């Protein structure tokens, strides 16, 4: 697995263990903010900030969400609490990076039965998937961005890196 800069421009590092600003390790149960920043040519990097260092950073982010350190184990599987805030942070974002991430993440969350695929429509020759959940009112239309198998694998790897332990 490549943890450096991939040829499609995602840069991801070991995430979720300490604050990018002050270097303080997150304790078990501690809430912190995770941030994706978009650089040149769609380069995405993740940074995590403790609550103290987070103030005033919202404006420069591609997306951000609050999460919580659950345990010290590296074998845990990230549950809904980790992935849903990230999924929700992509809501309303229409740029290519966000649309592609949303598609791959939605399919994964549906496999985990966090989201439910309730309808499949068509729009301009592309499938439009309708997902519901986990809240009753939560509904999302996700257009198939027409990704290659390689691109799907790469995005899966990106999300694996954003959420260590994700499989």
**CA distance readout (Å), 76 to 15, 71, 146:** 14, 8, 32
Task: Give least dist CB 37 to Zn ion, A.
Answer: 16
Q: Which is nearer to Zn ion, 32 or 131 (CB)?
A: 32
Contact between 21 and Zn ion by CB under 5 A: the answer reads yes
Contact between 19 and Zn ion by CB under 5 A: the answer reads yes
Task: Give least dist CB 18 to Zn ion, A.
Answer: 8
Task: Give least dist CB 53 to Zn ion, A.
Answer: 3
36-75 footprint of Zn ion as x/- string (CB under 5 A)? --------------x--x----------------------
Q: Which stretch binds Zn ion (CB under 5 A): 3-11, 18-26, 79-87, 156-164?
A: 18-26
Binding site for Zn ion (CB under 5 A): 19, 21-22, 50, 53
């Amino acid at each position: 697995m490549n943890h450096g800069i991939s040829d499609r421009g995602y840069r991801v590092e070991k995430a979720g263990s300490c604050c990018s600003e002050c270097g303080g390790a997150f304790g078990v149960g501690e809430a912190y903010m995770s941030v994706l920043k978009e650089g040149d040519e769609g380069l995405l990097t993740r940074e995590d900030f403790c609550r103290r260092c987070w103030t005033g950073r919202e404006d420069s982010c591609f997306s951000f969400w609050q999460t919580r350190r659950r345990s010290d184990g590296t074998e845990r599987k990230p549950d809904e609490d980790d992935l849903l805030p990230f999924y929700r942070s992509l809501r309303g974002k229409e740029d290519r990076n966000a649309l592609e991430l949303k598609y791959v993440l939605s399919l994964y969350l549906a496999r985990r039965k966090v989201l439910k695929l309730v309808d499949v429509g068509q729009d301009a020759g592309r499938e439009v998937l309708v997902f519901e959940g986990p809240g009753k009112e939560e509904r999302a239309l996700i257009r198939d961005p027409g990704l290659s198998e390689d691109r799907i694998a790469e995005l899966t790897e990106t999300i694996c890196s954003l959420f260590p332990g994700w499989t």
